[in-house]
Amino acid sequence: MQKFAIKNIDCANCAAKIEHNLARMKEVKYVSINFPDATMFIDTDNISKVRKVVEQTEPGVELVDISPEIKRADLLSSDKKANRRKILYILLISAIYISGIIFREALGSTPNRIAEYIVFLTAYLLAGWDVLYNAARKILRGSLFDEHFLMSIATIGAIIIGELPEAVGVMIFYQVGEFMQQLSVKRSRSAIKALLEIKPLYANLLMDGTASKVAPESVQPGELVLVKPGEKVPLDGRVIEGSSQVDTSPITGEPLPRFYKKDDEIPAGVINRSASLTIKVLRSFQNSSIAKMMDLVENAASKKAETEKFITTFSRYYTPAVVAVAAMIALVPPLLFGQNFSDWIYRALVILVISCPCALVISIPLGYFGGIGGASRKGILIKGSNFLDTLTKVKTVIFDKTGTLTQGSFKVNDIVPSNGFSKNEVLYYAALAEEHSNHPIAFSIKQAYGEELNDIKIESFNEMPGYGVNVKLDSKIILAGNDRLLHQENIAHKICDLNESIVHVAIDKKYAGYIIISDQLKDDARHSIKYLRSTGIQNIFLFTGDNDTVAKDIADKLDIDGFYADLLPEQKVQKLEEIISKSPPYDKVAFIGDGINDAAVISRADVGIAMGAYGSDAAIESADIVIMTDTPSKVGTAIEIAKKTRKIVWQNIFFALGVKAFFIILGAAGAASMWEAVFADMGVALLAIANAARLMRR
């Protein structure tokens, strides 16, 4: 899949035509153009032919490779000088037009017809030469029924029937409307520009006690960076010296600062506020949280909602249909009923001006664009507008337990030895078994043991997701895991389930005891469940690999409808399949998780949601939506944003079609002029854009 920025495209209908023509090419396997973001995603082996088709469809439009040397923010920035020139140009044309009106009124029309034509045609050509030129080029290429063609036919027709002032005025008004429309779209694009500018520009790399500014991409994991007050954290890392208040809003959308101290993990892109921090880099910039966030935001445009696809298809048939209606209005009454040609041609021209589908073609993708942008401002990354639509249909939500509803920061609370083993021995063997595991429980056991185990050579290590670990050391077989592991290995033991998470330990098939691990509910876990119910969620379930007793305790505390415990990763998928099969056809199921063992079930859900703050890479890659904080209440926020987006999108659809239908009826009845028609076109487009832009507000 290749990604390009699209230069010189200010027409949504033109973008839709380019996408349609490219999709018809046999060399193109997939193409998606996002007009608000001015980007194209395409899967093809013949990019040179693609460029030719783009040039043929819309002369002057360019595809620009997005590379480190070309900043996306620069491609989206507006040209203030060009805007000022455009304003002066419109003022000049308006002055000529007004002078023509004064000249006509002062001298009368009959004896000065030639002079009147000279003045008005001069103003008309100045106002509309680019519209006429583009229309002519597209006609030669066989491309009709865009706004340039419609405006050219309508205004030339008005000149032919003697309506010179109206033809010129409508063309000027059209140029003003186009200019305002472009400004509105550029203002919306600036939101993406702001998101792209969260990337840190440099890192203070510490070498031999001296800091030097380098590009974040050049810093390697394990190196140290210094972050001064007011600077952005350049890479994901761990604080090894210092403590400070940090503004996390660029990543999480949370307005309140967060306090970071020694040993805390800190993500790239957040802003240090109060004191210097020395950070040990954990991941390269390419694998950092901010790089993934930027990639997700930019790539979200490639997955379009069904409503967007429908509107693009609808516009291809809508405009020719309205043109056919206009032709019938112009010809049928005069030919069949002897009506005045001039009157009915004027009515038809009014309808032509109204028929441009720009309001729909711009405002619908802009609405989804705004929804995705607005969600990202709140720390919710949605990988495509299709997932926004699916979110509105979610009626069942399933949570993983550890790291999703609970903090996932485990702590050893007690050690209960058995069969002659001591507490220290149980903890020691458990720490040995978990030495090479990255599971949060393993980390808590190693932390409780507190001593280095680097010199001990483990002969074999086997981690079994959903069970535990099996380690061979000095001819000893050490098992550490849950009750299921003990039963699988036929190890006799008295304690199976407790109202807490426990890790059983066995040495050479002999039960040594168990370790009690505590994990607290997240602060907003209860609020999250209530919030979800307020958004219309009907069923909430809990999936966990923990035992029934722990699962029931969590479900009761949070008022969750049901739970499924002792689940292996593949069993989570099976249970999800059962829930989906029992749900009504149009009701969707969302799953929220964070661990590597959740990747499969996240991928299978109608909407897969990953906790991105501390979630595994596999879970984040599999997810449709990534929450950049560890707060489950953001699931409810995402659903609310999705519903608001869909509401605004359909408001724009009904508003645009309703107003256009109303003015088409007025035009056919002779009750609307071209002035009202151009308002129905441009005015509706501007109002629809303004409505869609509401989604970008915080």
Active-site residues, by number, are 400
CB 469 within 8 A of CB 572: no
Q: At what angle do helices 358-377 and 634-668 cross, to 10 degrees?
A: 170
Contact criterion met (CB below 8 Å) for 620 and 641? no
Alpha carbons 373 and 195: distance in angstroms, whole number? 8
Question: Can you list the positions of beta strands (E) in 383-509?
Answer: 394-400, 411-417, 460-464, 468-473, 476-481, 501-507
What is the token pair recorded at 102? 């004064």
**Per-residue DSSP letter, 46:** -
Identify which of 187, 186, 175 has the alpha carbon closest to the alpha carbon of residue 90: 175
Q: Select from 80, 168, 88 the least CA-distant residue to 129.
A: 168
Cα three-residue angle 508-441-626, rounded to 5 degrees? 140
Local structure of 412: helix, strand or coil: strand
Is the torsion defined by CA of 43, 611, 34, 363 positive or negative?
Answer: positive
How far apart, in whole angstroms, are the C-alpha atoms of residue 174 and residue 165? 14
Residue (of 192, 131, 184) closest to 156 by Cα position: 131
Q: Which amino acid would we find at residue 642?
A: A
DSSP annotation of 680: I
Whole-number Å distance between alpha carbons of 147 and 332: 25
Alpha-carbon span 120 to 131, nearest angstrom:
17
Which of 264, 273, 206, 257 lies closest to 236, judged by CA?
A: 264
H helix runs in 72-163, sequence order: 72-76, 80-107, 113-140, 147-160
Residue 534, classified by CB atoms within 10 Å of its CB into exposed (0-12), middle (13-18) or buried (19+), is: exposed
577 contacts: CB under 8 Å, gap ≥ 6: 604
DSSP letter assigned to residue 491: -
Phi, psi (degrees; rounded to nearest 5) at 18: -60, -45
319 HSE (CA, 13 A, CB side): 24
The distance of Cα 468 from the centroid of its chain, to the nearest Å, equals 37
Are 631 and 522 spatial neighbours (Cβ–Cβ below 8 Å)? Answer: yes
The number of angstroms, rounded, from the C-alpha of 444 to the middle of its chain's C-alpha atoms is 35
Torsion of the alpha carbons at 574, 579, 585 and 588, rounded to the nearest 10: -100
Q: Give the Cα separation of 503 and 638 in Å (integer).
A: 36
Indicate the length of the chain as a whole number.
698
